Amino acid sequence: MNKKGLAILLRAKMRPIPAANKINQIQFPIRDGNHEPSQNRLSINMIREFEEVKVSMHSAISMNKTENVDAALNEFSVGYFRLSREMHKMLLLLLAKQYDVYRIQVRELMKQYLDIQLPTGLGEKAEDGSHTEEGSLSNFYRIERNLKDSLKPTYEVLFERLNTHPGGLKFLSIMRADILSILAEENTASLRALESNLREKLITWLSPANLELHQITWDDPASLLEKIVHYEAVHPISNLLDLKRRLGVGRRCFGYLHPAVPGEPLIFIEVALMKNVAQTIQEVLWDEPPIPEPEATCALFYSISSTQPGLAGINLGKFLIKRVIDVVRKDMPDISTFATLSPIPGFLQWLLPKLASADTFQENMLESEEEATLLDSSVEFAAGKNGNEIMLTMLTSTKYEWTKSDSLITALRAPLLRLCVRYLVQEKKRGKALDSVANFHLQNGATIGRLNWMANRSEKGFSESCGIMVNYLYSLEKIEDNAQAYFSTGHIEFSPEDVC
């Protein structure tokens, strides 16, 4: 094992990320979400520390540009990481409420604006050709400008100053992750407004123009490769050989980097160069050696992972996929098919309650022929008065016994694939696909392609989707039309016949 491999292995496996490393001026210590002080440990020192952080936050917001704002930002960020989760909640709620829009001022300006008499001819063409004097509009322009400024929450100053401060962008991402965590428990209007404002700011600051596409290779620093190992969220990287293969011949890995977060991709995607669209993840994860790259006609996206929980809901993946398609097309003109082999994380979570309540709602999830086949095949494995009960029993077994029986695998194939099509194409939430991965690819303009039976035989694959995976197709001539149709009407394009 070479020095780089040893470094990656030790750093990725022996300690969590983020480590206690200094990103420019802001210190990011290890954050242990399970470590919370008990009530009797909320000492005077901790309360004093909270007050100090609150004061430094106020200073960072209220100081004018000629004062030492950087020192206040450093004090605030360092102090923030010393606080417990409960104190983070207190501080963020205080930020959301006390530094919100100053509505008394807004109402006063609105009253002034409505009290001003509208000059003759304003907003319309005068019949006699006369023009409204510029001077008569000065009050309108002044109050409109002041009104616009007054509708800006005071906490925007903190966000904007942190964004231009070394290390501040990552700190804002961490802060938003904390806000999202609190909102999951306590959905208050002021905190929702704070989160929404910060999300909009991050979307602007993380526009594709500010991001650098980087092809990640084995030659990159060990510190960067360590993060790939740690943050891979779809198919865990099992060892150094696995990592080298994913970065080697027949494979590509691309990430988006931002100058404010050096050496750490915000999001990365893994690509397999293949002859045909893969039907199982085993094909991709090197059960067989890769084909020679000149023979490849398909670029298969098999994993996309974000490294920043605080960037949830900011669709960097959409831009990343389109950029990668452009790069691969330019480098390898013979590749004409762009597709994914994707998990279906919500399928079983949707299906099990349906099976459990089928009798109550008098909905048989199985067709008569499917039920008969299942009843015949399950005699030795499960008991039940009907197919719904038997399927529920088998799919909830802790050791997935049904996957060890060829007859049960055959009996369950047709109903599970049919129900999975229903889940992906018909089941919706607020007019969009219920499945989170489906929603991601469909809003990017993809088409649902082939469903692949027994495509992921890992425990995660069985627990999420009974081992089923799906190919999403990115047909270049259809991407924009598909995205627009999905956005406007929720229409889902489904073309399994297009998968070769």
Of the listed 306, 342, 378, 475, which one is catalytic?
342
CA terminus-to-terminus distance, the chain:
40
Q: Name the DSSP letter for residue 133.
A: -
Contact 230, 10 (CB under 8 A): no
CA angle at residue 253 from 305 to 277, to 5 degrees?
90
Distance between CA atoms of residues 465 and 447, nearest Å: 19
Strands 337-340, 428-429: pairing is: unpaired
Is 488 among the catalytic positions? no
Q: Name the burial class of residue 405, with classes exposed (0-12), middle (13-18) and buried (19+) by CB atoms within 10 angstroms of its CB.
A: middle
CA angle at residue 15 from 10 to 21, to 5 degrees?
100
Distance between CA atoms of residues 432 and 442, nearest Å: 9
Q: Name the DSSP letter for residue 290.
A: P
Distance between CA atoms of residues 388 and 290, nearest Å: 42
* CA distances to 152, 171, 295, 436, 487 from 470, in Å: 44, 36, 24, 13, 21
Beta bridge partners of 339: 300, 473
Contact 417, 444 (CB under 8 A): no
> Which residue from 391, 424, 422, 425 is spatially nearest to 408, judged by alpha carbons?
391
Distance between CA atoms of residues 254 and 294, nearest Å: 20
Distance from chain centroid for Cα 107: 38
Of the listed 77, 235, 441, 465, which one is catalytic?
441
Is 342 among the catalytic positions? yes
Cα within 13 Å of Cα(221), Cβ side: 7
Return the active site residues: 342, 441
